[in-house]
Amino acid sequence: MPQILIAECMQEISSFNPLPSDYDYFHIQRGVELLGQRGLNSAVAGALAVFGTRGDVTLLPCYGARSGSAGLLSAAGWQRLSGELLDAVAARIAEADAVFVSLHGAMGAEGELDPEGFLLSRIREIAGPAMPIVISLDLHGILTDRMLRQVDGLAIYHTYPHVDFADTGARAARLLLDIIDRRLDPVIARVTIPALVRGDELITRTGCYGDLIREAQRLERDRVALAAGIMIGNPFTDVPELCSQVLIVAERDGERAAAEAMRLAQEFWPLRHRMQGKLIALDRAIAQAKWMAGPVVFTDAADATSSGATGDSNVILAALREAGYSRRVLAQIVDPQAARAAHEAGVGAQVTVQLGGGLDRGRFTPMTVTATVESLSRGCGRFETGRSGFDAGPTAVLAFDNFTVVVISRTVGLVDRALYWANGVDPQDFDLIVVKCPHTEYRMYDAWVEKNFNIDAPGATSADLRSLGHTICARPIYPLDAEVKFDPSPVLYHAPRRR
């Protein structure tokens, strides 16, 4: 009766966010608390569902840590977080026959730029070479050489915008059980691609990236591969092994796995030009929006909290005011001071606040507004897709002129409409909606708006990648450098017990 240890550690960071994150950014689940994810759309929930179909499997829920995207994790926060997770693993590893770990892949901490690699190497050291370890990953993760040397297999998200969190965990769980049941010794083929990508072509439902992902899925369905995926990294996580890469997990045929990884990588490379953000100048977008029947969306991906930005950009709001845009505008912003002032004043009161620009002060300037406090809340709710909870801290809805702004105290991933709904506002009641997420699911906005403008604005997650200032990732890499050669060379990784 296999006993499977379950752990989780998930955070995505932007190295260009000046505000560090800390231990308090994480929602921690210890031991059986992890089982509370059952029924959610999360990798752990998907794994639990698969393990639950087996009467012979015993679960050893260990430790889970989840954070929204943010800035670099502080050294103290990382030491506490990693120490708790590894202590929890060490306390139960003697009971375990296998390990499943849910990771994001785009963490970064002060003093440790490969946190997932560190955790996996320590888990492998504790578990020994014979114990199977399988991981799940976000396709925006940075899968490193150190990580690959510790694991027997992996499963990677296949959708963007992400909707297959639970499905990915389920695929990882099935792979782990297959390794246990058939005593497999998998081989993993990896081909790295010196390219950073962004933009609409990454939407897997419609873009060319999705066409490649579907080929990876075919390899899984045809049993050519135990698992296959294409990771595009997070271009805002400036770490040494930042890149795009193809991963193929095979039962034993390393030569076939390497050939398939090479083929997909070579198909990816000429598409890198298409897979870049297509931005429109803010003044032009406003000029066009004024004459549209609407509604329209202004996507502020440069300040996307879901990608690790601060969320306090007021650049679009200020430009709309200055340009005299007179129709109804809905937006959100991270500003704990303004939210506090609204809570102190109370519903119906008028407050004068400096709105935005309080966190990323090198990019944004506070904007003075006198607003009516329309409503107040604790800032709690559940996301549409994952159904996991969020906590934005004390929240206020402020109204001034033709603007309605949901002001939150803590960054949460604004990947859907849940924050608006939780505070009594519906995006469909407005003419222009500011969305601080590079892409949301089609039904959420694009299905009913006249136009979605991808705004060229400053921010820690700008799709203008050359503007960010990478200093750590390996160079040359497209599009940061003009001359980049692609000379692919597959690397094979064998299960640790075979080395």
Token pair, residue 303, equals 């300040």
Least confident segment among 8-12, 136-140, 483-487, 493-497:
493-497
CA 262 – CA 268 distance, rounded (Å): 10
Average pLDDT, the chain: 96
Cβ atoms of residues 174 and 47 within 8 Å: no
Helix (H) or strand (E) holding 121: helix 115-127
Q: What is the pLDDT of residue 498?
A: 58
pLDDT tens figures, 351-404: 999 999 999 999 999 999 999 999 999 999 998 877 778 899 999 999 999 999
- Fold for the domain defined by 3-274+488-498: Rossmann fold (3.40.50)
E strands in 363-448: 367-377, 380-382, 389-391, 395-400, 403-408, 432-435
CA distances from 178 to 64, 132, 190, 264, 271 (A): 24, 11, 21, 25, 35
Helical ranges in 183-314 per DSSP H: 208-221, 254-268, 282-289
Token duo for residue 365? 């300037």
Please check the confidence at residue 202 and state whether its pLDDT lies above 70: yes
3-state secondary structure of 216: helix
Pairing state between β 98-103 and 70-71: unpaired
- Using DSSP bridges, classify how beta strands 70-71 and 13-14 pair: parallel, antiparallel or unpaired: parallel
CA nearest 249: which of 180, 169, 176?
Answer: 176
Return the closest-CA partner of residue 4 out of 40, 35, 37: 35
Residue 414's pLDDT band (boundaries 50, 70, 90)?
A: confident
pLDDT tens digit sequence for 216-231? 999 999 999 999 999 9
Residue 357 identity: G
From CA 381, how far away is CA 405, in angstroms rounded? Answer: 17
Which pLDDT value is given to residue 499?
A: 55
For the chain, which residues make up each domain, given as ranges? 3-274+488-498, 280-463
Beta bridge partners of 206: none
Q: What is the DSSP letter of 423?
A: T
Give yes or no for residue 116 having a pLDDT over 90: yes
Closest by CA to 462, choosing from 287, 297, 307, 253, is 307
Interatomic CA distance for residues 298 and 321, integer angstroms: 14
What does the pLDDT average to over 248-260? 95
Q: How far is residue 195 CA from its own chain's centroid?
A: 18
For the cut 60, the answer to whether the pLDDT of residue 495 exceeds it is yes
CB 38 within 8 A of CB 92: no
- For 31-71, the pLDDT digits (tens) are 999 999 999 999 999 999 999 999 999 999 999 999 999 99
List of residues 6+ apart from 43 with CB closer than 8 A = 8, 102, 136, 165, 166, 168, 169, 172
Report, as an integer, the average pLDDT of 289-295. 94
What type of residue sits at position 116?
E
Arithmetic mean of pLDDT, 241-247: 98
* Tokens representing residue 231 in the block: 């990771």
Look at residue 104 in the predicted model and tell me its pLDDT: 98
